[in-house]
Amino acid sequence: MSAKQQIARLALSLVVEPGDARLRDLLAVHPPERVLLAVRGGTHLPGHRIPEVWTERASDLDGRVERARSRADAAGLRWVCPGDRDWPSALGDLDHVVPLHGTAGAPLGLWVRGAANLAALCAKGVALVGARDCTTYGAEVASDLGADLTDAGWTVVSGAAYGIDGCAHRGALAMGGATVAVLACGADLDYPRSHASLLARIADDGLVVSEQAPGESPLKGRFLSRNRIIAALSRGTIVVEAAVRSGSLNTLNWADQLGRTTMGLPGPVTSKSSGGVHLAVREGKAVLVTDARDVVEELGGLGAEHEQLEIPATEFDRMSPVMQATLDGLDWRQQRTPIEIAAAVRLSAREVRAALGDLERRGLVSRTDGGWVLVRRADTG
Amino acid sequence: MSAKQQIARLALSLVVEPGDARLRDLLAVHPPERVLLAVRGGTHLPGHRIPEVWTERASDLDGRVERARSRADAAGLRWVCPGDRDWPSALGDLDHVVPLHGTAGAPLGLWVRGAANLAALCAKGVALVGARDCTTYGAEVASDLGADLTDAGWTVVSGAAYGIDGCAHRGALAMGGATVAVLACGADLDYPRSHASLLARIADDGLVVSEQAPGESPLKGRFLSRNRIIAALSRGTIVVEAAVRSGSLNTLNWADQLGRTTMGLPGPVTSKSSGGVHLAVREGKAVLVTDARDVVEELGGLGAEHEQLEIPATEFDRMSPVMQATLDGLDWRQQRTPIEIAAAVRLSAREVRAALGDLERRGLVSRTDGGWVLVRRADTG
């Protein structure tokens, strides 16, 4: 992508409401600089009308660009767009989904606060979202899950809102991990206000991003269009607490549209806060998960197991099914007895004991006072 | 089935441990009186060995029958078996399942305490089982569910154990409904002891049943074989709270083997008591349900809706999908606004309002101060 195209994208993002499906359709057939020219001139492109409001807004385009850039500079934001090294190509999937409430398309670019590489962080991104007015149960579970997923090498992506979102980010930060917050307002604004220090901490190790220009307000519709970015930056979305009509289910819908893994963490049926999650699981729109282990399993399948185990795939594939299952039942830190492993993976304790012996000889597991754990290999080449 | 066959069944049930899959296999090819003759004589039948222990036990058969009958008379138990009007034919499904721990087959008959008709009660039977050491959450949810299912015209079938089972029965009794307890010991025994008055109340309106002879103890293996009867007497099984290795999951397995509906009611992921339920849902072995409405929907599908709505199937089938969906979103007692209905069944409020008008003209729904409810028809012929 040329520098000219990148500048055209930035300009377009300032005159067209981000996520407008009509712009997505235009960009599917015309390069951005051509679309920008048509918008500025108020001329139409073959087969496409240019909405008048775009042209009206473009009348002050230079001023808009100038203001956005100076706000961005003041807040330390960068503009990242296709062609940049840290642009997550996964966002392109948004160009191929059915519009939801008129919203569709990859963002033209993202304003980014923080030094980390967005593409690298999101290569193993997992969205963790949920109710603003969560219960203490939800808060506890979300921060544990955020922490455990971070510990397992995943990047928690969320919306920095009150409730579940904030807890998910805090859980990640507590593990010293990088986490990504996607805002519905400019990435320079602290929204919600009382999350200012949380957002600052997120930007320190991770990133605060938005497709909205610096200074833009979090208008209502922007939360829904923002949700598509959370879903697209992640390999899967987990909802922890959502009432039946919660906006968090909107993120789940986007994830589903994008072919990402959709997951729901249940709660007491007596709590309305879990009603939307239960409905989604019941209707087959989300898989039930109870902890980070379940999530990693859903996200990665066997592939992720290899990665986690740091065992070459060929070595893993050559193992007997009993050995593979036994590895599944082990953890890095938590010691497990053969009986516990057997219960978890549906083997007999005798099978597990035999497999553990073989795995120990291969240096993959080790015996401790309290049971067995996985062994980290120094280097797998 | 002849009286001779019925007597042979009773006699066999006293010398062969109920649920022994070997007897099921024998009875699949030989009539019970022929099998009894072979057992008494210690002779073999073509293709089948008669275990010696059966013959040993049969040496005192007349005494066994006499003792069982006198204990039954004293406790007011009846022997119900195939050929009797109140024998639930659904139990026959047990003759066609793969044995679990050597257990399989329909019971030879059941000892029944209480005056109700077992077949009639179980025509709409639903099993509600779970952990003995349940939490207060589980207890509350199980008794509510027992009550609501009873109110919806279903018979709660359970095992009368401490915890979830007892709560399920109590919920049913609280609605003045009949409930069925299936014991792992003789139906004349109060087990657990402190449930004596609960069992008496169950027998008043409903039934306490067992395939074990009067006076037989609840040996460990008998709980597992008893579970198959709970599952078979019901159109579906719901598990409320079960740890990962709980016996309640055994009932769910039986229900699955029998092609019945398998359901799990979730709880907090922080509670080990819900771990087995979550695992079953996660692995696709149970559908997530949150209340009686969900359960009835799973059990009945559209068929049950007709029944519930008291609308002839032909009339229902002629309705537009929007009208059908709107009916789905209504309740007999709880008033619902068009917006609530729309949210529940994924229609727009405008569609729901239009459908409600049509349904009102047909006399199927009525408008109240607080919203809309279903109308009960006096008689549908």
Residue type, A207: L
| pLDDT greater than 50 at residue B303 | no
A132: left (phi over 0), alpha (psi -120 to 50) or beta: alpha
The CATH number assigned to the domain with range B89-297 reads 3.40.50.450
What is residue B349's predicted lDDT score, i.e. its pLDDT?
83
CATH 3.40.50.150 fits B310-374, yes or no: no
CB contact under 8 A, A290 and B269: yes
pLDDT band with cut points at 50, 70 and 90 for residue B301: low
Asked if A177 contacts A156 with a C-beta cutoff of 8 angstroms, the reply is yes
Nearest to B268 among A137, A244, A282 (CB): A137
CB contact under 8 A, A269 and B270: no
381 residues of chain A, pLDDT tens digit each: 788 999 999 999 999 999 999 999 999 999 999 999 999 999 989 888 899 999 999 999 999 999 999 999 999 999 999 999 999 999 999 999 988 888 999 999 999 999 999 999 999 999 999 999 999 999 999 999 999 999 999 999 999 999 999 999 999 999 999 999 999 999 999 999 999 999 999 999 999 999 999 999 999 899 999 999 999 999 999 999 999 988 899 999 999 999 999 999 999 999 999 999 999 999 999 999 999 999 999 998 533 443 445 566 567 777 887 888 888 888 777 788 888 888 777 788 888 888 998 888 888 888 887 788 888 654 333
C-alpha dist (Å) from residue B28 to A148, B34, B53, B257? 54, 12, 21, 19
| Mutation site for B-interface testing, chosen from A135, A148, A253, A290 by largest number of B Cβ within 10 Å | A290
Q: Which residues contact A129 (CB under 8 A, 6 or more apart)?
A: A158, A159, A164, A165, A168, A227, A230, A237, A238, A239, A240, A248, A251
How confident is the prediction for chain B on average, in pLDDT?
91
Question: Chain A partners of B268 at a C-beta cutoff of 8 Å?
Answer: 137, 141, 266-268
B270 close contact with A: CB closer than 8 A: yes
CB contact under 8 A, A266 and B282: no
What is residue B310's predicted lDDT score, i.e. its pLDDT?
53
Nearest to B265 among A269, A287, A344 (CB): A269
CB contact under 8 A, B290 and A281: no
Nearest to B281 among A281, A343, A344 (CB): A281
Give the helix/strand (H/E) hosting B317: helix B313-318
CATH 1.10.10.10 domain range(s) in chain A: 310-374
Only one residue has tokens 């401490």, namely B162
Cβ pairs A/B, distance under 8 A: 64
| pLDDT greater than 80 at residue B311 | no
Among B347, B314, B316, which residue's Cα sits nearest to residue B329? B347
Nearest to B278 among A245, A282, A288 (CB): A288
Residues 81 to 140 of A: which have CB under 8 A from any B CB?
137, 140
Question: Chain A partners of B269 at a C-beta cutoff of 8 Å?
Answer: 141, 265-267, 290-291
Q: How far is B314 from chain A (nearest CA, A)?
A: 27
How confident is the prediction for chain A on average, in pLDDT?
91
B267 close contact with A: CB closer than 8 A: yes
Q: How far is A272 from chain B (nearest CA, A)?
A: 11
* C-alpha–C-alpha distance, residues B367 and A140, integer Å: 43
* C-alpha–C-alpha distance, residues B273 and B163, integer Å: 11
Asked if B50 contacts B44 with a C-beta cutoff of 8 angstroms, the reply is yes
What is residue B52's predicted lDDT score, i.e. its pLDDT?
94
In chain A, which residue's Cα lies nearest the Cα of B267?
A: A268
What is residue A380's predicted lDDT score, i.e. its pLDDT?
34
What is residue A272's predicted lDDT score, i.e. its pLDDT?
95
Q: How far is B286 from chain A (nearest CA, A)?
A: 10
Give the helix/strand (H/E) hosting B367: strand B365-368
* C-alpha–C-alpha distance, residues A240 and A141, integer Å: 8
Calculate what percentage of chain A has a pLDDT beyond 70: 94
pTM (two decimals): 0.76
Q: How far is A150 from chain B (nearest CA, A)?
A: 19
CATH 3.40.50.450 domain range(s) in chain A: 89-297
Q: What angle do CA B356, B358, B360 make, to 5 degrees?
A: 65
Give the helix/strand (H/E) hosting A374: strand A371-374
For residue range A279-335, what is the model confidence (pLDDT) as tens digits?
999 999 999 999 999 999 999 853 344 344 556 656 777 788 788 888 888 877 778
